[in-house]
Chain A
Amino acid sequence: MRNRFTWNIWLLVIGIYLGFSVWNLGFAYNIYWANLHSHTSLSDGEGMPEEAYIYARDSAQIDILALTDHTHYLTQNAYQYTMFVANQYTVPGQFVAIAGQEFGNLSAFGHFSIFEAESLCPISVYNLVYTYKWMAKHKAYSQFNHPRVGDFDYLVFSREGGKYVSTIEVVNGSGLYTPFYEDLYILALNNGWHVAPVANQDNHHKHWGDATTALGQIPLVGVWADTLTKEKILEAIGNERVYAAEIKPADDKINLRDFSIGNSVMGDFYYTTDRNVTIKLVVDALTNFDKIYLYKNGVIYDSVPSNMMGQDSITWTYSDTITNGYYFVKGIQQDGDRFWTAPIWVNFKSGPTGIEAWPNPIRLNSQIRFPEVTGAISSEMTIYTMEGNEVFKQQVDYPTSHTWDGKDENGKRLDDGIYFVVIKVKTSTETKVFKGKVALLK
C-alpha cells in the first residue's frame, strides 16, 4: 500500500514536471516586471538603496529595480556602494537589483539611464558624441529617459550609441510626463535606433515599483527572459526584449505572451527571402482590451478586428507582404491602460543571383545557396580546388541549398583558400548550372 502511494507521488511529480516542460515549450520566455528608473537620497530622492530594493521586492512585488541616481550627485564611493548593495540584493530566481546612474542635464542633451557601468560617466553633459562612445567602451546598456523634442540632438542616430542605447521611455511617472513620448519613440526608430519602449516611474519618493502616474497607472516594464538572473535580464534589455505597460489596478498586469514573426520575437531582426510573413500577437490581462494597433514603419498599419476586441485575452495572426522596416504593437485596455511592444525589424533579402556561401568565408559549416529554380527536382554540387581538382560532391533532392563543412570526400579538412563551386539543378525539362567561388578559413 505504501509503495503504491509512493509511486503515485512520483507519477504526480513527473506529470507536473512534464506539464511545465510542455508549457515552457510554448513560451520561450518568462515575463519579469521591472522599473528601470528610480532615485534614492544618494541624489534627489528619498531613502537608501537597501530600502529601495527591499520595497520593490516585498511591497511593490516587482522582479527588477534599477536605481539610477543622478551622476552629478554621486561620488565614486556612493556609486560603488549602490553597486555593492545591488549585488547583495540580487538573488537569482527571486529578485534582480540593478545599479545604474542617470547621466546628463536637462539644459543640455537630456538624461540617460546607464546600467551597471563599472564607474560613473565622467564625460561633459554637453558632449553627446563622447557620451555615446563612453557607453560603448564600457559596454553599458543605456536608456533615453523622458525624451523631449530636441533632446539627444533630435535623436539623430549614432553608430556608437546604437550599440548600447537599447530602450526609450514612452511613459515616465514623474511630473515630466508629456504626450510626445510615443512620437519620440517612433522618431528614434525612424532615425535608425534599435530601441524598445519602457514605462518607468522615475521615483523620487519611497514607492519604488508601485508609484502611479497622474492617471493612477503604475508604469512598468515587461522583460522577456529565460530566468531571473542579472545576466539574463541585462541581456534581454540589451536585445530590446522588453515592452512598456501601464498597470491599473496593480494586479491587472498586461501579459504580452508572444509578439513574433517566424522564429524572431520582439527586439529581433527577421530576415527573409519570402515577402509573405505572418505576425503573431498573444496578450492577456484582467481588463478587456479596447483597441490594438499594428504599427509599420511609424504609422498605424492595421488593427485587431473589432469583433475580437472587448476580451481579456487576444490571439491575433496577421499576414502581410513585407517591406524593409519594423513592426510594433500598441494596445489600449477598456480602462485606458496602454502597452507598447518593442519592434521586430524585418529585412527582406532577394534570393541569391548566383552562388552564395552563408557564411563566407566558411569556417565551420556553410549553406551554399543558389538562385531559385522553379520545378527543381534535384541538384548536384561539386567543389573544386583552385587547381580545378574535384574534392567534394553532394546531391540533394528538391533542393533550396547545399551544405558544406570544408571537408573533402574522405572527411579531411581542406586547406585555407578559395574553392570553386559548381551546382547543377535539374528540372523535368532542363539542367541549370551555377558557378561561384567561396573562401575557406580556419
Chain B
Amino acid sequence: MKRIILVSIITCLAISYLQAIYYRIPYFARPAALGEATVSVLGDATGIFTNPASINNKIVSFSLTEWLLDTRAGSCVGSYNVMDYFMIGGGVTYFSYGPMRYFDDEGNPGDYFSADLWQYRISLAKQLYNRISLGIGTKILQQNIETVKETKFLADFGAIYYSKLFDVGASVHDPTEISFDVGISAKPVKDLLLLVAMNYQDKAVMQAGIEYNFKPVSFRIGFNNKRLAGGIGYQQKGFSFDYALTDYGQVGLTHQFSITLK
C-alpha cells in the first residue's frame, strides 16, 4: 500500500516537470470558498479542476462565476460510475472576457472585439484497496482573442490517499511548466472539515479552508495566497446550492453560484 502511494506521488511530482500553467480559476462555489485547498477532498466532481482523482459519486453541477472586471464564466460538470469499475467525469466551461475595444498605436479606436475561452475536460478516476483514488484527466483549451485562436491540449494527474484520520492528495497539471498541488484534509470532529494545501505555479502558494456543517447549511471560509474567501452551502436530499465570495484586493470581488444535483 505504502509503495502504491509513494509511487503515485513520485509519479505526479516527476511528471510535474513537464507541466504548464493555464488560468487556474475556481469555477465552482465550494472549492472557491475553501480557498481552493481541495486537492485532498474526495467525492465531488467539482474538484476535477484541482484533482482528477476527486471524482467519487454521481452528480451534475452547474455554476455561474462573476469574475473580475466584467468577466464571467459558466460551467457544467458531471460524473458517472461506470459499472462500479471506474468513475468518469467531464465538463465544459465558457469564460467570457467581456467586450474589448481595439485601439491603434495612436489611440484611434476601432470596433469592439470578442475575447473568450472554452474549456472541455474529461477525467477518469479509479479507486484501489478502499484507500487510494488515482485520476487522470485531459482538457482542451481554446482561447479566442480578436482574430487569434489558440488551442492547447493539457493533462492532469492526481492521487488521493484517504483514511479515517486524514486524507492526502496530490495532482499535477499541464505540460511545459511546473505546476502541482499537494494537500491534506481531516475531520477532527464530526461536521468539521479542515484543509491545508500548497499550490505551486511559478511560486508556492499556501491554501487553507474550513467547512462546518450545520445541516442543512454549511459554512465555509478559506485563504488562498493571502486572499480571504467565504461561502455558504444549502443541502437537501439530492440537491445543493452553494455560494462563494473571494476578495481579490484592489482588483475586486468574485462570486460563484453553484447548483448540484446528486
Contact = CB atoms under 8 A, between A and B. Distances in A.
A384 B251 contact: yes
24 contacts: A347-B108, A349-B108, A356-B101, A358-B107, A359-B102, A359-B105, A360-B100, A360-B102, A361-B102, A361-B148, A384-B68, A386-B68, A387-B24, A387-B25, A388-B68, A388-B249, A416-B148, A418-B71, A420-B69, A422-B251, A437-B69, A437-B98, A439-B97, A439-B100
Contacts of B67: 386
B149 to A, nearest CB: 10
Nearest to B97: A418
Interface residues of A, number: 33
B104 A441 contact: no
A357 interface: yes
Given A416-B145, A435-B251, A439-B145, A357 B103 contact: yes
Nearest 9 interchain pairs by C-beta: A388-B248, A358-B107, A418-B97, A360-B103, A386-B23, A358-B103, A359-B105, A439-B145, A271-B106
Contacts of B70: 437
B130 interface: no
Given A357-B103, A359-B105, A386-B25, 18 more contacts: A273-B107, A347-B108, A349-B107, A349-B108, A349-B109, A356-B107, A367-B107, A386-B67, A386-B97, A416-B143, A416-B145, A417-B143, A420-B69, A435-B69, A437-B69, A437-B97, A437-B100, A439-B146
B23 A420 contact: no
B188 interface: no
Interface string A402-425: 000000000000011110101010
A436 B146 contact: no
A358 B104 contact: yes
B193 interface: no
B224 to A, nearest CB: 10
Nearest to A440: B145
Contacts of B107: 271, 273, 349, 356, 358, 367, 369
A386 B97 CA distance: 9
Contact of A386 (B71, B146, B249, B252): B71
Main secondary structure of the interface of B (DSSP, over half): loop
A349 B104 CA distance: 13
Interface in B193-248: 225, 227, 248
A290 B70 CA distance: 61
Interface in A225-276: 271, 273
Contacts of A288: none
Interface of A: 271, 273, 347, 349, 356-361, 367, 369, 382, 384-389, 415-418, 420, 422, 424, 433, 435-439, 441
A416 B141 CA distance: 13
Contacts of B104: 358-359
A194 to B, nearest CB: 15
Chain B contact-residue range equals 35 or more
Given A420-B68, A437-B97, A359 B103 contact: yes
A271 B108 contact: yes
A359 B148 CA distance: 16
Interface in B60-114: 67-71, 97-98, 100-109, 113
A250 B244 CA distance: 84
Contacts of B24: 387
Contacts of B105: 358-359
Contact of A441 (B68, B103, B108, B146): B146
Interface string B142-173: 01011010100000000000000000000000
B115 interface: yes
Contacts of B100: 360-361, 418, 437-439
Nearest to B21: A415
A361 B108 contact: no
Nearest to A358: B107
Contacts of A424: 250
B142 to A, nearest CB: 12
Nearest to A388: B248
Interface centre among B70, B107, B252 (most CB of A within 10 A): B107
